[in-house]
A = this chain, B = another copy of it.
């Protein structure tokens, strides 16, 4: 994982896990990586991962089965709703931001399409 400078590390990792849950990379009910392992993998202090899991727990995406570890919620509909909300929210923020630069819809939609297909 490479981290950006201008955003806190724990939010970057939280976002990464969230999206992986949305995409099914962590399936519903699946056990998440142990804090220490994940910290090692990210080359990050375990406290940082603790904070990540806290945040996702507050959102209801994961839960703790004490001693067994952290698990993705098994409520598939809930995950789907969160995913739709997340994507819509991020997209609104991004599009609102990019529109401030005075780009036209045509140019922008074309750009998004090309970028999605990794042709640019």
Contact = CB atoms under 8 A, between A and B. Distances in A.
A109 B95 CA distance: 12
A23 interface: yes
Interface of A: 6-8, 11, 15-16, 18-20, 22-25, 83, 86-88, 90-92, 94-103, 105, 108-109, 111-113, 115-117, 120
27 contacts: A6-B7, A6-B11, A7-B7, A19-B97, A19-B101, A23-B100, A23-B101, A25-B102, A83-B101, A83-B102, A83-B103, A86-B101, A87-B101, A87-B103, A90-B94, A90-B97, A90-B98, A91-B98, A92-B115, A95-B112, A95-B116, A105-B113, A105-B116, A108-B116, A109-B112, A109-B113, A112-B112
